[in-house]
């Protein structure tokens, strides 16, 4: 969608929505101004005007070779979008006639290209879940350790909210994905096939030379020196967790604090705004039971709000941890996708108020400072009973859905035979 304007400030859904809502919770602005902002956040039809999940997946789809070139960035109301639609129809007919099958496009090389793009655009953390699900249906597993390794030499180049300052329409005017892919060229598999029947490298060349613009940075002048997403491990997340480091507060990237625990979304809603909540700006908020089976459905509840008493005091960020997801439009020092989730007995289930937790993004570490013996005692004292259902779709879901690292997909929809990990398949 296009952007709007509030009191001469350019605004767009939904990063600015969250920013203004934070101001409202902190009582910095009143209900009248919130209403005025709300009227400007959605200036046209379309998806969020920042690098939310929709924009992220559009960019990833183009990087995978699964859309026509230039399909990721045109605003919904433009003639460019109509041209993309027409070209898509033309290509669909050609693909059917030539019998170009999806397995020739969704190769390990294509997935690695998509991972590079996800890191370079400061993309939504949801992109990892979706990529893992797509890869699983093709018989591949996304190697989170390799994704993190790639992130160390794939800087964020796209100056776009929430990691930067611009909006999707600016990215489109700057040349869209062609401009980004041209800058990423040395890191990409240029021989990966696309739906046009041409390779990614050929499509980059067909896009022509670049031009002067300020939205896509060079690799020598990134907006963030590493990839937007980092993968964490430790005794609190033995199967991994992630953080959108490009949208986090630098001061909190190395932090140890006291856990303030919410058992589920209802508990959070009931207590987060209470003046009696025992919480300080140095604490770490922990939200349990919002993972794939716990919620169920892994909702975007990981963007835990700043407790109202702290918001009023001027606190803008603090470390937050959960087994859930958050919108790509969100920002803050927020650890997500903790695996295994609390609802199936992951270590997160046994965190208690007052426990010490340390986060080190530099070391990619997430540690609960509780001994193994004490965790075992807690597990025996209050064992976790995984959620169940007697019949229907809920039973199907709870019985077969897998964890975040495999895409929160039904296990029976994954390919019957695993073909390996990506990266790491000789792509």
Tokens representing 396?
A: 């199907």
- The active-site residue, picked from 327, 358, 360, 371, is 327
How far, CA to CA in Å, does 386 sit from each of 59, 217, 251, 298? 36, 47, 37, 15
- Bond into 423 cis (ω within 30): yes
Q: Is 222 helix (H, G, I), strand (E, B) or coil?
A: coil
Residues 6+ apart with CB under 8 A from 92: none
Three-state SS for 102-148 is: HHHCCCHHHHHHHHHHHHHCCCCCHHHHHHHHHHHHCCEEECHHHHH
Q: Which helix (H) or strand (E) covers residue 418, if one does?
A: none
Residues 6+ apart with CB under 8 A from 359: 232, 243, 252, 253, 254, 255, 256, 284, 319, 333, 335, 365, 366
Closest C-alpha to 77, from 159, 135, 3:
3
Question: How far apart are the C-alpha atoms of 331 and 344, rounded to whole Å?
Answer: 28
Beta-ladder partners of 230: 243
Closest C-alpha to 232, from 323, 132, 122:
323
Contact 285, 321 (CB under 8 A): yes
Active site residue 274: no
Three-state SS for 30-95 is: CHHHHHHHHHHHCCCCCCCCCCCHHHHHHHHHHHHCCCCCCCCCCCCCCHHHHHHHHHHHHHHHHH
Question: How far apart are the C-alpha atoms of 301 and 323, rounded to whole Å?
Answer: 9
Neighbours of 203 (CB within 10 A): 21
List residues with catalytic annotation. Answer: 327
């Amino acid at each position: 969608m296009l952007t709007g304007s509030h009191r001469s400030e350019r605004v767009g859904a939904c990063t600015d929505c969250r920013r203004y809502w934070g101001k409202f919770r902190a009582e910095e602005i009143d209900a009248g101004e919130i209403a005025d902002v709300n009227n400007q956040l959605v200036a046209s039809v379309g998806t969020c005007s920042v690098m939310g999940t929709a924009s992220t997946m559009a960019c990833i789809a183009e990087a995978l070779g699964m859309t026509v070139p230039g399909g990721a960035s045109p605003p919904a109301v433009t003639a460019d979008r109509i041209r993309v639609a027409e070209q898509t129809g033309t290509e669909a007919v050609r693909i059917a006639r030539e019998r170009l099958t999806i397995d020739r496009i969704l190769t390990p090389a294509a997935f690695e290209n998509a991972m590079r793009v996800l890191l370079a655009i400061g993309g939504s953390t949801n992109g990892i879940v979706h990529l893992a699900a797509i890869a699983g249906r093709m018989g591949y597993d996304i190697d989170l350790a390799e994704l993190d390794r790639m992130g160390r030499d794939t800087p964020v180049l796209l100056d776009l909210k929430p990691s930067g300052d611009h909006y999707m329409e600016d990215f489109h005017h700057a040349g869209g994905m062609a401009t980004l892919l041209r800058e990423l060229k040395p890191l990409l598999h240029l021989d990966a096939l696309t739906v046009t029947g041409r390779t990614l490298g050929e499509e980059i060349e067909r896009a022509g030379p670049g031009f002067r613009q300020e939205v896509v940075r060079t690799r020598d002048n990134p907006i963030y020196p590493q990839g937007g997403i980092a993968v964490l491990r430790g005794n609190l997340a033995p199967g991994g967790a992630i953080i959108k480091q490009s949208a986090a507060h630098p001061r909190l990237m190395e932090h140890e604090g006291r856990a303030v625990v919410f058992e589920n979304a209802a508990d959070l809603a009931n207590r987060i705004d209470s003046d009696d909540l025992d919480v300080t700006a140095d604490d770490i908020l922990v939200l349990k039971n919002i993972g794939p089976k716990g919620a169920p459905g892994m909702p975007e509840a990981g963007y835990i709000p700043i407790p109202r008493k702290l918001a009023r005091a001027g606190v803008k960020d603090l470390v937050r941890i959960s087994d859930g997801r958050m919108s790509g439009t969100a920002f803050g020092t927020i650890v997500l996708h903790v695996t295994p989730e609390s609802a199936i007995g992951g270590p997160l289930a046994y965190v208690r108020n007052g426990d010490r937790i340390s986060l080190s993004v530099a070391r990619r570490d997430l540690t609960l400072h509780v001994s193994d013996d004490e965790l075992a005692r807690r597990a025996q004292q209050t064992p976790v009973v995984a959620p169940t259902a007697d019949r229907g779709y809920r039973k199907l879901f709870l019985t077969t859905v897998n964890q975040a690292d495999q895409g929160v997909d039904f296990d029976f929809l994954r390919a019957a035979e695993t073909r390996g990990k990506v990266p790491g398949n000789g792509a």
